[in-house]
């Protein structure tokens, strides 16, 4: 087995383990931490198969933006002194050991890959420029359809969210 | 993109533009009548925009979209059905509080998704179309705040639709792994070349795609969500899910598997036969014990999709492709107008009670004495669902039968017969309930203008095309068979 293949399987294992842990945690915050690790692991896999742009997007958009938003929402929902206690309870030092270990594996892998001593599995590298040319060339309609999809989702979220607020005000 | 290609997607551009205009109108001047008027005009204009497209077909617009006769035929069906649902939904929502306008926007979004779905020739546009359709339907199901049933329906649909989309994505990825192609037409050569070496991936990928699609089409054993979603969703939305959503997904499945030759993988055909037999039997048998009209219609739709699967399997047999596509196109036409009729009646009967839809069969007792016209229309649609001669449903079933006989699918055909026999029982049960004289005080049912027109035209179509199906058959011959 070549080094690259070993790195791929290692990242895939991290991804699987963290996803399973994310699904089985009772605590939403802990689950989210594992979910972030799972996304980081997929980013490493993307990098290994020669798609650095997808890897960056995975980190910036999923792990960076969306998941941080999730974590904030979960934490903001528990306001007050009780929330502080809970947060104190959640953030026990021991809690960080295993996610930290998984992250460390990914970090070492990343350093090894970036040091340039290895090749990627696919043999070719898809640069951001190529992705851009594809997206605004043959796939331009897909971009348009995706924008409509987002608008539909936005309107749906707006409608459902609005109703929830109105109802809870009535009850109180 | 050239001018011609832009002209070819004129219907889609038009619909998108109108959605945006409608959004602005809703944002600045909220008025339900205006919103509905914009929706109906948009749907009609989109339909008309297919006329200039007809002179261009077949035409590829980027690798993602193909406009051919097949796409135009199914787009027509979808637009017809969406217009009917819009009118039904206007009656349904107009007396149920404020802020109902967004529903009609979402309806247009879902229609756009379905239109993209039927003319997509690439996995990317197929999945985006599926998602556009699905995301709009989640909100449409839970649109009115009616408590747990609606919420349950929306949540079940959300989760199962999401899971099935993932299945389709994974299947597409496996197929991509074999040949590095995502376009349907390019897949045909891949399927031929790698028939021996890459067969496991191809078979596994096709099986995963089928599993995802079966969920969306709700055939046994992937049918569990259907009765709950049908019961919980507002009646017009149920009509939409039953017709536009399932019809568009069936159309794209047929296109995907006939143009890419993936259907000729033998193990897939065996699996499909099992699915078809199970859904015809399970759908019809479970409907027997139901007391809720919406649930009966849900099980009946499972059975109908089973009949449709017979045509699908015939398309994979030698020499059955042309007839099978013709049969399923006619069957879907019949299924569309009949289902619209059935849920149109459910919508109208549900109007007086804004708390819950008229699901229970007791709501229909004595309908013949209270509202004879409505009862006659419902009887006709039920007879059409049962496949009684002189209705459009009979011609549809007859077509399926012909396709089955030509490709000698005797086992499947015998199950079609058994299923239809069982079906007559529960359709007649609703009809008998309607003839029962009731002494109890019942709420008065008013037939609204928009819904009344929909029902009148649907009933007329059921009878007319049941007696004289030639116009539709000619249309199918001119348009649909161009893909074979």
Contact B128 A167 (CB under 8 A): no
**What residues of A are in contact with residue B1 (Cβ under 8 Å)?**
140
The CB density around residue B287, as the number of other CB atoms within 10 Å, is 24
Q: In this structure, are residues B9 and B67 in contact, taking their beta carbons and an 8 Å threshold?
A: yes
Indicate the CATH number for domain A3-124.
1.20.120.1200
Residue B130 makes CB contacts below 8 A (sequence gap 6+) with B113, B117, B165, B168, B216, B249
- Which residue, chain included where needed, has tokens 């399973």? A20
Contact A146 B128 (CB under 8 A): yes
Contact B62 A140 (CB under 8 A): yes
- Which residue, chain included where needed, has tokens 């059975």? B303
Which string of DSSP letters, residue by residue, matches A83-128?
Answer: HHHHHHHHT-GGGGHHHHHHHHHHHHHHHHHHTT----SSS----H
Query: ω into residue B168 within 30 of 0, thus cis?
Result: no
Give how far B187 is from chain A: nearest CA, Å. Answer: 18
User: Cα(first)–Cα(last) distance of chain B, in Å?
Assistant: 26
- The angle subtended at Cα B240 by Cα B235 and Cα B242, nearest 5°, is 95
Closest to A167 (Cβ–Cβ): which among B62, B110, B145?
B145
Q: Hey, which residues does B122 pair with through a beta bridge? A: B183
Contact B125 A142 (CB under 8 A): yes
- Which residue, chain included where needed, has tokens 């199962």? B160
Q: In this structure, are residues B107 and B119 in contact, taking their beta carbons and an 8 Å threshold?
A: no
C-alpha torsion B449→B455→B457→B461, nearest 10:
180
For B95-134, give one letter per residue: b (16+ CB within 10 A) or e.
eeeeebbbbbbbbbbbbbbbbbbbbbbbbbbbbbbbbbbb
Contact A160 B124 (CB under 8 A): no
* Best CA proximity match to B284, nearest among B174, B175, B411, B417: B417
Contact A155 B62 (CB under 8 A): no
Q: Could you give the CA distance from residue B325 to residue B331 in angstroms, rounded to a whole number? A: 10
Report how far apart, in Å, the C-alpha atoms of B140 and of each of A158, B96, B233 are: 13, 15, 8
Give the pLDDT confidence score for residue A167 in this predicted structure.
52
Give how far A101 is from chain B: nearest CA, Å. Answer: 30
Contact A149 B128 (CB under 8 A): yes
Contact B64 A141 (CB under 8 A): yes
Give the pLDDT confidence score for residue B12 in this predicted structure.
95
Residues on A contacting B at a C-beta cutoff of 8 Å: 138-142, 144-146, 148-149, 151-153, 155-156, 158-160, 162-163, 167
Mutation pick from A45, A51, A133, A156 vs chain B, by most beta carbons of B within 10 Å, is A156
- So where are chain A's domains? 3-124, 139-172
Contact B139 A160 (CB under 8 A): yes
* Best CA proximity match to B130, nearest among B244, B206, B221: B244
Nearest CA in chain B to A137: B62
Residue B222 makes CB contacts below 8 A (sequence gap 6+) with B164, B211, B214, B215
Give the pLDDT confidence score for residue B457 in this predicted structure.
93
Which string of DSSP letters, residue by residue, matches B154-193?
Answer: HHHHHHHHHHHHHHHHHHHHHHHHHHS--BHHHHHHHHHH
For B422-448, give one letter per residue: b (16+ CB within 10 A) or e.
bbbebbebbbebbeeeeeeeeeebebb
* Best CA proximity match to B136, nearest among B158, B107, B165: B107
In the predicted model, residues of chain A with pLDDT beneath 50 are 165, 169, 171-172
Contact A146 B125 (CB under 8 A): no
Backbone angles phi, psi at A16, to 5 degrees: -65, -50
Mutation pick from B30, B100, B127, B139 vs chain A, by most beta carbons of A within 10 Å, is B139
**What residues of B are in contact with residue A151 (Cβ under 8 Å)?**
19, 23, 109
Q: Could you give the CA distance from residue A106 to residue A110 in angstroms, rounded to a whole number? A: 6
DSSP for residue B361:
G
Q: Mean pLDDT per segment of 10 residues, for chain B of length 484 residues?
A: 88 95 92 93 95 87 90 94 94 83 94 95 94 94 81 91 93 87 84 69 87 91 91 92 94 87 75 92 92 93 93 85 90 95 92 80 85 91 92 92 90 93 92 82 76 92 92 88 66
Query: Does an H or E element contain A142, and which?
Result: helix A140-171
Which string of DSSP letters, residue by residue, matches B216-280?
Answer: HHT-TTS-THHHHHHHHS-HHHHHHIIIIIHHHHHHHHHHHHHHSSGGG-HHHHHHHHHHHHHHH
**What residues of A are in contact with residue B110 (Cβ under 8 Å)?**
152
Class of residue B153 by CB neighbours under 10 A (exposed 0-12, middle 13-18, buried 19+):
buried
Backbone angles phi, psi at A118, to 5 degrees: -125, 160
């Amino acid at each position: 087995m070549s080094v690259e293949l070993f790195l791929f399987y290692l990242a895939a294992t991290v991804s699987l383990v963290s996803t399973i842990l994310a699904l089985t945690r009772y605590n939403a915050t802990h689950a989210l931490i594992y979910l972030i690790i799972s996304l980081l692991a997929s980013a490493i896999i993307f990098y290994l198969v020669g798609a650095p742009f997808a890897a960056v997007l995975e980190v910036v958009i999923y792990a960076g933006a969306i998941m941080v938003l999730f974590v904030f929402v979960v934490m903001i929902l528990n306001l007050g002194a009780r929330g502080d206690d809970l947060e104190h309870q959640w953030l026990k030092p021991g809690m960080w050991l295993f996610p930290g270990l998984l992250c460390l594996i990914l970090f070492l892998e990343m350093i090894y890959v970036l040091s340039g001593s290895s090749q990627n599995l696919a043999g070719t590298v898809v640069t951001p420029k190529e992705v851009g040319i594809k997206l605004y060339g043959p796939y331009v309609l897909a971009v348009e359809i995706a924008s409509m999809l987002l608008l539909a989702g936005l309107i749906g979220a707006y409608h459902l969210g609005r109703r929830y607020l109105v109802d809870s005000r009535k009850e109180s | 993109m050239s001018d011609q290609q832009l002209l070819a997607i004129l219907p889609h551009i038009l619909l998108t533009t109108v959605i945006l205009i409608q959004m602005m109108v809703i944002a600045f001047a909220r008025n339900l009548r205006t919103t509905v008027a914009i929706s109906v005009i948009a749907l009609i204009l989109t339909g008309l925009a297919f006329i200039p497209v007809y002179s261009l077909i077949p035409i590829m617009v980027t690798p993602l979209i193909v406009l051919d006769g097949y796409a135009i035929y199914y787009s027509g069906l979808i637009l017809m059905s969406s217009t009917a649902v819009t009118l039904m939904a206007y009656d349904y929502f107009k007396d149920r509080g404020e802020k109902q306008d967004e529903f009609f926007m979402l309806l247009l979004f879902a229609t756009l998704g379905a239109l993209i779905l039927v003319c997509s020739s690439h996995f990317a546009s197929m999945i985006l179309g599926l998602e556009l359709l699905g995301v709009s339907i989640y909100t449409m199901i839970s649109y009115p705040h009616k408590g747990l049933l609606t919420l349950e329906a929306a949540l079940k649909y959300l989760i199962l639709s999401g899971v099935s989309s993932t299945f389709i994505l994974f299947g597409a990825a496996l197929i991509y792994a074999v040949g590095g192609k995502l376009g349907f037409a390019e897949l045909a050569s891949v399927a031929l070349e790698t028939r021996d070496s890459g067969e496991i991936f191809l078979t596994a990928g096709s099986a995963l795609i089928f599993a995802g699609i079966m969920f969306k089409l709700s055939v046994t054993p992937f049918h569990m969500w259907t009765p709950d979603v049908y019961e919980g969703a507002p009646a017009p939305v149920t009509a939409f899910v039953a017709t536009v959503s399932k019809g568009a997904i069936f159309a794209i499945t047929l296109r995907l598997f006939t143009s890419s030759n993936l259907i000729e993988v033998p193990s897939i055909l065996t699996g499909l036969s099992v699915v078809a037999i199970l859904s015809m039997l399970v759908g019809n048998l479970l409907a027997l014990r139901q007391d809720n009209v919406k649930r009966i219609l849900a099980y009946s739709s499972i059975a109908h999709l089973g009949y449709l699967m017979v045509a699908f399997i015939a398309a994979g047999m030698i020499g059955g492709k042309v007839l099978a596509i013709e049969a399923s196109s006619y069957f879907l036409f019949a299924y569309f107008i009949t289902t619209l009729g059935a849920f149109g009646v459910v919508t109208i009967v549900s109007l007086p009670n804004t708390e819950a839809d008229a699901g229970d069969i007791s709501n229909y007792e004595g309908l013949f004495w209270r509202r004879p016209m409505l009862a006659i229309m419902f009887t006709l649609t039920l007879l059409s669902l049962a496949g009684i001669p002189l209705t459009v449903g009979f011609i549809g079933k007859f077509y399926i039968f012909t396709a089955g006989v030509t490709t000698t699918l005797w086992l499947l055909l015998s199950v079609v017969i058994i299923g239809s026999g069982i079906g007559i029982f529960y359709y007649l049960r609703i009809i008998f309930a309607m003839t029962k004289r009731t002494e109890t005080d019942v709420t008065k049912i008013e037939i609204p203008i928009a819904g009344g027109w929909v029902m009148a035209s649907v009933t007329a179509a059921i009878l007319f095309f049941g007696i004289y199906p030639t116009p539709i058959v000619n249309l199918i011959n001119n348009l649909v068979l161009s893909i074979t």
